[in-house]
Structure 1
């Protein structure tokens, strides 16, 4: 706003300078008016051009504005109060209100009003001008000073409110980031370390039952002890992987263009997960449609989320559904990748909601829903089109495949 004021002053001085020079007295008067034109014009130009650099200097030294006001009075005396220099004089209290608050506005409005009254009384002493005409410009100076001070206060309050809003937004963003990280850690711990430790506990219970039998089988005991050892090492490895992920400065991001290491590794790993789950729990898991040659490659973070959702669905079928068979299918329908995990168990209890599961300490389904939302997929958990059991269906939009003939040409208007 101060720069705009100086731009207006610059234009008014340029318009009134010829009149001031023509009405100046020859000799010393013309030189004084010429010097005043040069000084006021250059000061206005410099402050208009580079306010960020010279504005603080004007803020620290109000005497500079007072000197500029006095130089402008020479032009006003020479050109007269009826020229555009009268608008320059009104700009001075406005600028003082913007820069120095109400005290500066009051001082410069009084100084400029006094100068205007003296000029009016000197130049129009031979006339009987109305009092309203003599008080018009001084009154405008007072009004301009009040407006400048008011605008300054409004801008300062707006700046304080903007700063407070920015601070609140930054705090909210930090809180959301912390909440999202806590939710991610909860999912990772639930889907990795917690499940592995639960498997260690089951294997240890089996080892204790075998060892406490009347005629313990040494081979069976050795096999179960090796299972406990492998599960414990797996829990330790998952813990190290989780800690490494926390220490990483830039976590993996979902890159739509990047794929997992071998392109079809995710589908092989999904099949191996099903086979390992069957060997560990005895629950039969089949994957009739997981043909890597007919399924798309997936980005590594996306593949990790789909594997975690599948593993959680298998664990739920084994622990809670009393299922005897689980079927895992994957296919592409239109532009959607559809992954379904269906078990023949007893299904979800009536009235099951995420809120009730969270309150009761069961976070598996909640983690599945959060993982699907994180990768932009839609998940449905229910009976589906089956008579019994539970179906987990994940539908993920796939990016369009590039045309073999290159990009389609832009349509032309007929």
Structure 2
């Protein structure tokens, strides 16, 4: 029994809404993601460094501790610190984001370090494990966090010196560990700033490349129009001039019917030249955006409706981030984006046997995004562009080439869905407007 059209329409609409919400929640700025991932990877390596320090320093610390209860205290502190660091190092993807969203949890890390300082004393090799806390604070929170936790570690060190009569805080030995805490905090801040600047530079380079690609596409259209003007209007006008010259030179030697015939040829050539000129001027105004560019959202919505009208599969259009306006797109760029969307729809219908398709478009984090999703069988495992070329399937290859020609990123795969295929194209807005978006300098970028 075929499904009820109303039920299918309702489920398709709900799915389109869910997909739009998922896209809205998906970050789109690749450079910012690079910053976050690099900082998180660096934080994870800090815990790996701490594990190595504990493994190296533990035998020496245990050997120089009095037997009995002191050894048990040091062993317990080592075990707690080691296991906490090991869990964060091994399952960083699970527990790391919690630490990054709540930087105050570094105080717990400082507490573990203080246990080592109290049980093993600041003069033990294990005491230098505590420098990792200011290092983490510098990576996660910047100079404010590094200053707070470095100062906290220094206070703890001198507090231990003050409460243990057998320890002497004076001299270079007593200042060595506090100095390392301050240096570790400064190193964390320096690494954080370096990674953030690298991400910003990467984003600027990506936007510049996209802007150059858009300009190149527009200039390519100018070249094409100039070539067509040469091949059509220029040749027509040249023939018109020759016909007029011939008529002027031989009009006195021809009878009136012949003169009338030649005059009609000249008039016909003139009308053809005028029509070709009007057509090229119209194309020139449209191609170069002199009429304000193309409303890409309206065009994609019309494209989805047209696809639904001519195919048995329904294509639903949804707008991403409706509160964010989508700028008008130059014709040279819009044509490539619309062609990619059209090719994705046709490919899904021909090869994937879907029951519905969803077209999404909008702006997310200063990036123009166009996406086509189908719930079909998806791409075969191991599919590559080279294998598609060899097999003579140039649809996906053409999409990739079109996206590259305008400086856009394209991703083809399941995405967040359990099945089907999504074709997603992303183009920085700076490539369209020529004005780079304001730099993102959040106070805590790794906490997003």
Which of the two has higher C-alpha Rg? Answer: 1
What band does the TM-score fall into relative to the shorter chain? 0.3 to 0.5
**TM-score scaled by length of structure 2:** 0.44
Q: TM-score, normalised by structure 1?
A: 0.47
Larger RCO, structure (CA 8 Å, separation 6 or more): 2
